[in-house]
Amino acid sequence: MDSPQSSENWGSSGIIPANHPRRESLLIREKLVEALRENILTEHGLIAHGRGECFDYLIGETTTPFAKRSIEISASLLLLAKRPVISVNGNMAALVPEELVKLANEIPAKLEVNLFYRNEKRLKSIKEKLQRAGATEVLGVEDEQVTIPELFSERRRVSKEGIFSSDVVLLALEDGDRTEALVKMGKKVISIDLNPLSRTSIFSTVTIVDNVTRAIPLLLSKVKEMKTWDRESLVNLSKNFNNRENIAIALSYISERITALSADFKGKGKSI
């Protein structure tokens, strides 16, 4: 029998009702499961996502004021960069492929595939996914590979024309080792990570504590808006930014929110 939502998109599994209270979150999971079947995502990416969901609950599944500030600073760094690169892994390609391509075109920046669980099949599938989303150039797959010094994971293999010679790298759902190594190479690293305590968050030049599904579209619109700014205004924006303070603000935000929620459940606070 047809339900009232039968004309709606029930997700790729066909079982997510249009009025499900966690519909958006479930549809994101479906995208990831589909990407796993298409060799874009690694199985480990599902675990990483679950970790992120937990932190997303803690910040209220919304882009916080401090994340908006980080997004603005990131837009300025990307627009000021001489050789900006967006590093793409399986989760990013699964969740925001079109937005990544638009962002790369708008800055303009290069797109490079870089994987922790690297294999030829996944590299090719991710490249094709980005090409279907409109990318004309995708580095990191068949181009000349060099290695990041002092890094031993598969992430050390990067394109000579891309990440290796970049000055600003945007990445997400990353491991701390490469972030640290990139910073040691003198690069500015912008990371998107829901966990403010991850090593990537701590080592980055700018951390955007937000979900990639919200942060990348917001970064795209900020880049479009700030493209008309003069150089001095862009430089001034990031002058007093301190990422350790940014992390401290994120932690205070979470702790105050949890305290307020706890009071709410005890019947003492106002509703959140």
Q: Provide the strand spans (E) within the chain.
A: 84-88, 110-113, 145-147, 157-159, 168-172, 188-192, 206-208
Name the minimum Å distance from CB 16 to ligand PTJ.
18
DSSP string spanning 33-62?
HHHHHTTSS-HHHHHHHHHHHHHHHHHTSS
Q: Among 7, 59, 38, 48, which Cα is nearest to 255's?
A: 59
Q: Which is nearer to ligand PTJ, 17 or 176 (CB)?
A: 176
State yes or no: residue 246 binds ligand PTJ (CB under 6 A).
Answer: no
Residues 125-164 that bind ligand PTJ (CB under 6 A): none
Q: Which residue is nearest to ligand PTJ (CB)?
A: 52
Look up residue 160 and give its DSSP letter.
T
Name the minimum Å distance from CB 1 to ligand PTJ.
36
User: Which amino acid would we find at residue 258?
Assistant: I
Site string for ligand PTJ, 51-90 (x = CB under 6 A): xx--x---------------------------------xx
State yes or no: residue 44 binds ligand PTJ (CB under 6 A).
Answer: yes
Residues 177-216 that bind ligand PTJ (CB under 6 A): 192-195, 198, 211-213
Q: Could you give the angle at the alpha carbon of 199 between the alpha carbons of 82 and 167, nearest 5°?
A: 10
Residue 181 in tokens: 């190594």
Q: Which is nearer to ligand PTJ, 205 or 234 (CB)?
A: 205
Q: Which is nearer to ligand PTJ, 48 or 163 (CB)?
A: 48
Q: How many binding residues for ligand PTJ (CB under 6 A)?
A: 26
Residues 100-129 that bind ligand PTJ (CB under 6 A): 115-117
Largest CA distance in the chain: 63
The strands making up 84-88's β-sheet, listed across from edge to edge, are 110-113, 84-88, 168-172, 188-192, 206-208
Residues that bind ligand PTJ (CB under 6 A): 42, 44-45, 48-49, 51-52, 55, 89-91, 115-117, 172-175, 192-195, 198, 211-213
